[in-house]
Amino acid sequence: MAARKSKPPRQRRDAETARREILDAVEARLRQSGPAALRIADVAADVGVSHPAVLHHFGNREELIRAAITRAVDGLQSQLVEGMAQAKPDADSTLDVIGRLLDGLERKGYARMLAWIVLSGLEPETPDSRIAFMTQLVHEKRCQETALDPPPTLQDTRKTVLLIAYAAFGQAIFGDFVLRSSGVSDVKTEREAFRRWLADLVHAQLVGSTDPT
């Protein structure tokens, strides 16, 4: 008979540490199986706390999932804001910001987590304003660093940000499948080439074009 996997011993933790470790466990399980398979009892066992302790910190399963997603997106947004603050008006800086976005969405699994949330109907009723925030940030930087005549419109900047978001989510979730379906044999090389192409396209749009409508 196979030996049962031993559970981590329960420890006394301060509230901040307990919340962080619970969210770490939730995030790992969301990346692996999505929200439908998430059970509070499993999370509690992963961390070494009781089922009621998890509920004490987060109320219920849905709030627990939302808290994990919110923390993940907060971290991703911080990385993007940092990249924007350091960015120069060149294509390499645009590539760096897009790389930060793809790193969070693809390597850390945030795109899959967000897709599961939307498809599971667990997204908040009030629309998240993060893309609007990033759009405003990009637009202000664009206006400061370009001398376009007429000046760029917020609507045009929003379209550019949406292009990045759609492309990044698509690559993070379906990228390799789509590349193989298109006949690409060296997926890794083509993935990086597409990232470079997207950065060049976005940079050209931000510094050299305005919305004619």
For residue 3, being part of any structural domain is answered with: no
Looking at the fold, whether 186 and 85 belong to one and the same domain comes out as yes
For residue 175, being part of any structural domain is answered with: yes
Q: What mean pLDDT is predicted for residues 127-132?
A: 83
Looking at the fold, whether 147 and 170 belong to one and the same domain comes out as yes
Looking at the fold, whether 55 and 92 belong to one and the same domain comes out as no
Q: What is the pLDDT of residues 64-75, one digit of tens each?
A: 998 998 898 899
- Matching residue, tokens 């006394």: 12
Looking at the fold, whether 54 and 121 belong to one and the same domain comes out as no
Q: How many domains is the chain built from? A: 2
Looking at the fold, whether 118 and 165 belong to one and the same domain comes out as yes
Looking at the fold, whether 124 and 189 belong to one and the same domain comes out as yes
Looking at the fold, whether 120 and 195 belong to one and the same domain comes out as yes
For residue 144, being part of any structural domain is answered with: yes
According to DSSP, residue 10 is labeled P
pTM: predicted TM-score of the whole model, two decimal places: 0.80
Which residue, of 34, 59, 84, is where some domain finishes? 59
C-alpha neighbours within 13 Å on the C-beta side of residue 160:
29
How far apart are alpha carbons 4 and 74 in whole angstroms?
A: 37
Looking at the fold, whether 98 and 202 belong to one and the same domain comes out as yes
For residue 48, being part of any structural domain is answered with: yes
Higher-pLDDT residue of 13 and 176 is 176
Domain around 96? 74-208
Looking at the fold, whether 38 and 134 belong to one and the same domain comes out as no
User: Angle 120-97-19 (CA atoms, 0-180°, nearest 5)?
Assistant: 45
How far apart are alpha carbons 4 and 180 in whole angstroms?
A: 41
Question: Residue 31: is its pLDDT beyond 70?
Answer: yes
CATH number of the domain where residue 48 is located: 1.10.10
Q: What is the pLDDT of residues 153-173, one digit of tens each?
A: 999 999 999 999 999 999 999
Q: Distances from the Cα of 154 to the Cαs of 93, 118, 124, 172, in angstroms?
A: 21, 27, 26, 27
Looking at the fold, whether 15 and 86 belong to one and the same domain comes out as no
Residue 124's pLDDT is what? 65
Looking at the fold, whether 83 and 141 belong to one and the same domain comes out as yes
What count of other Cβ atoms lies within 10 Å of the Cβ of residue 40?
Answer: 18
For residue 105, being part of any structural domain is answered with: yes
- Provide CB contacts within 8 A for 102, sequence distance 6+: 168, 171, 172, 195
Looking at the fold, whether 30 and 122 belong to one and the same domain comes out as no
How far apart are alpha carbons 204 and 152 in whole angstroms?
A: 13
